[in-house]
Amino acid sequence: MSLTDTADASTGLAFGDEPSTVQENSSMDVSTSDIPETAVGQPLVSDPKMTMRNVDVFYGEKQAIFKVNLDIARNEVIAMIGPSGCGKSTFLRCLNRMNDTIVDCRVGGQIELDENSIFDAKLDVVSLRARVGMVFQKPNPFPKSIYENVAYGPKIHGLASGRTELDEIVETSLQKAGLWDEVKDRLQEPGTGLSGGQQQRLCIARAIAVSPEVILMDEPCSALDPIATAKIEELIAELSENFTIAIVTHSMQQAARVSDRTAYFHLGYLVEVNDTETVFTNPSHRLTEAYITGRFG
């Protein structure tokens, strides 16, 4: 993806990324009765990688996610979109139980990875997170060398039996993340000294170094410039050959460019899930249409 493509997409206004400055009060005024019980479109697939049934999330007394049913297919890229505060991050963090680290956050319902419940007492949350990796909104490399950043995961999981094997893992991970050529001569320099886009690719390399099956990305490009964004998007396309990817994004062009399916969240409800193409050209639900045509953000 080159810079011009990105620019075209944003000037072409195919889906109206920027909401109009004047918000229409009528379309903001949605009652929850307008939201369907189960998401319209195709939330369920056959032979899914992950399944979520009746997922509720509470922060203390406040409910942030309501009865979400969704499947994630093998090796697909699924994009989650929706207005700010609708619960995209919360939902994503359920998938590898990152919400456990938040005090008084409670998750209800059933979530399965390869048909095994992730809440199963026998399944260790640590190994779950090794299988379902995560890339965060703001690049957060550890204040260690580039090499140590990538080697961190393999080391704690004992994935390498010796130094040479570890070197190999680091090299292939950095290569897959498209960062190898830029950093191969300075692996011992601190990861925090890289540019924002490089740092984010380092975080992706760090995540794929433990060979996860699913990668969760929470707005991975929101802190990056268009060129770095284009690189990450290219990377996502390549990674989808081997990994299952769930990505939260605020850019509808990005969702359109990288994802196979798109899920639209609204006020904690999953409203619509469908092929990305369908969602953006022919949305079934009024709320989805209102959002993608930019009537509220």
Partner 1 sequence: MSTSSLIVIILIGAFATFMLGRQRSLSVAAPLGGKRHLHSLPNYYGSFSSLLWAIPALGILALWLIFDDSVIYNLVWASMPEHLQALSDQERSLIYNQIQGIAMNGSADPSVDPAMIKAAEHMNSLLDSSKTALAIVSILAGIIGSAIALSLVKETFQARNKVESIIKVFLILSSCIAILTTIGIVLSVLFESLRFFQSVSPIEFLFGTHWSPQIAIRADQVGSSGGFGAIPLFTGTLLISAIAMFVAVPVGLMSAIYLSEYASHKVRDMVKPVLEVLAGVPTVVYGFFAALTVAPSIRNMGESIGLSVSSESALAAGLVMGVMIIPFVSSLSDDVIHAVPQAMRDGSYGLGATRSETIRKVVFPAALPGIVGGVMLAISRAIGETMIVVMAAGLAANLTANPLDAVTTVTVQIVTLLTGDQEFDSPKTLAAFALGLVLFAITLTLNVIALHIVNKYREQYE
Ligand X SMILES: Nc1ncnc2c1ncn2[C@@H]1O[C@H](COP(=O)(O)OP(=O)(O)OP(=O)(O)O)[C@@H](O)[C@H]1O
User: 206, 141 in Cβ contact below 8 A?
Assistant: yes
CB of 89 to Mg ion, least distance (A): 3
Q: Which of 12, 85, 143, 297 binds ligand X (CB under 6 A)?
A: 85
Give the C-alpha distances (Å, rounded to integers) separating 65 from 68, 107, 154, 271: 7, 9, 33, 12
CB of 87 to ligand X, least distance (A): 4
Partner touching 87 among partner 1, Mg ion, ligand X, none, CB below 5 to 8 Å by kind = ligand X
In the region spanning residues 202 to 241, those forming contacts with partner 1, defined by CB under 8 A, are 203, 206-207, 210
In the 8-state DSSP scheme, what is residue 190?
B
Nearer to ligand X by Cβ, of 194 and 258: the residue is 258
Q: Which of 86, 205, 246, 292 binds ligand X (CB under 6 A)?
A: 86
Phi, psi of 263, rounded to the nearest 5 degrees: -115, 130
Task: Tell which phi-psi region holds residue 211, choosing left (phi > 0), alpha (psi between -120 and 50) or beta.
Answer: left
- Which residues are 80's β-sheet partners? 248, 263
In the region spanning residues 81 to 100, those forming contacts with Mg ion, defined by CB under 5 A, are 89
Partner touching 64 among Mg ion, partner 1, ligand X, none, CB below 5 to 8 Å by kind = ligand X
- Separation CA 233–CA 78 (nearest Å): 13
Residue ranges in contact with partner 1 by CB under 8 A = 96, 98, 101, 103, 126-130, 133-136, 138, 140-144, 152-153, 156-157, 190, 192, 203, 206-207, 210
